A and B are shown apart, each in its own frame.
Chain A
Amino acid sequence: MSGTSSHQIDAATAWGGKTSPFSVSYGKLMMWFFLVSDGLTFGGLLSALGFAKFANPEASGTWPMGEEVFTHFPFTHANLPLLYVAFMTFILIVSSVTMVLAVEAGHRMDKRGVIKWLSLTVVGGLIFLGSQVWEWSTFIAGPDGNLSTWHDNTTLAHNCYGGEYEVVGHGHESHTVITSYGPTLYSNFFFFITGFHGFHVFTGVLFNLLVLRNVVRGVYHRRGHYEMVEKVGLYWHFVDLVWVFVFTFFYLV
């Protein structure tokens, strides 16, 4: 996005050992290397999901269809396929946009602009994390919050999807009994991959907050450039990029 990031230097200088051949700083190059390796981790996990799905003859019958994975929405019992997950996706895209606007403001040395857009990015990240907490708690405790997988000492993996339960008794005396569980292999993949992504969002929010603190204190203004914002920006966009794939392979296909 930066107008002159590919500053021209002659070949002898570029490849003579005096400078980086890619015209980028050491930190940015290493962030890219890290993102490639992290991308391979997520690529491996999602490929493994595909392997488990295609290798298991029963998967096509018992695994949930993408758009039926999550059909709940806060404050309603209506059956709304995809709507909540679409909301989460939109929040993450918007926070990616505010991040790239923060980077752009940094290139103009506009400290107030960076603070404004970076703060909004943090807010977007927190909304996404909160949404994921609600989604998980709905999976684990049921849409009415009255299920418990901890009673009979079972694990998270048992209750993600497709389990059946019935309400026993009336009024205050009633409680819910789980009669069957959904496909465990699917739940393991679901909670591991969305959880690993959620962990990345969490660390991204932490990095953004640390950098925001430095921006407010004027550290980067004194340094003469806001490249640190650009580097955490790369990480934040990567988190959005991973979600694009998680969204497709869990909620659509």
Chain B
Amino acid sequence: MLVRDDIIEYSLHSHHTEEQGKLIRKKIWKVTAILSVITAIEVLIGAYMPKRHQTEMTWALIKYGYIILTAVKAGYIVLVFMHLGDERKTLKYMILVPYIMFILYLIFILVFEASYINNAWETLR
């Protein structure tokens, strides 16, 4: 195979030894357990504490609890499974910061607009 010597072959640096592999596999199984437990908690709450039996207050708590648990799961998937946590800091923040900023802005603007439109419909009824 032709190897160009003016380009650093990063792909070749990503090898690791048997011992490092053991540690990495241990971490993978730990994260697997965390993701499974979080999913199980979400499903049990959904099955045994359905929305129609909750007061508005407890439902709000459950709802934000779901969203926080989802964010935790997403963090583990991106940082460990997609190993963004092990990449260079510049790459990590170049991917995460613009995305999170833009999505938070989008959610903020859509939820606020939606509540105004909701009010407008209510006045027409």
Contacts and interface: CB of A to CB of B under 8 A. Distances in A.
A50 B108 CA distance: 11
A100 B28 contact: yes
Contact of A90 (B28, B36, B78): B36
B103 A47 contact: yes
B82 A237 contact: yes
Contacts of B118: 54-57
Contacts of A86: 39-40, 43
Given A4-B14, A4-B15, A252-B66, A93 B99 contact: no
Interface string B87-112: 11011001100110011001100110
A233 B82 CA distance: 8
Contact of B25 (A48, A81, A94, A101): A101
A162 interface: no
A233 to B, nearest CB: 8
Contact of A6 (B86, B107, B121): B86
A36 B95 contact: yes
28 contacts: A1-B27, A3-B20, A4-B14, A6-B87, A23-B13, A24-B10, A24-B91, A25-B11, A53-B114, A56-B121, A65-B51, A66-B46, A67-B47, A86-B43, A93-B35, A97-B32, A100-B28, A105-B21, A109-B15, A224-B12, A227-B14, A230-B14, A237-B81, A237-B82, A240-B81, A244-B70, A244-B73, A252-B66
Interface of B: 1, 6-18, 20-21, 24-25, 27-28, 32, 35-36, 39-40, 42-43, 46-47, 50-52, 63, 66-67, 70, 73-74, 77-78, 80-83, 86-88, 90-91, 94-95, 98-99, 102-103, 106-107, 110-111, 113-115, 117-118, 121-122, 125
Which 5 A-B pairs give the minimum distances between C-beta atoms? Answer: A54-B114, A55-B114, A1-B83, A2-B14, A3-B16
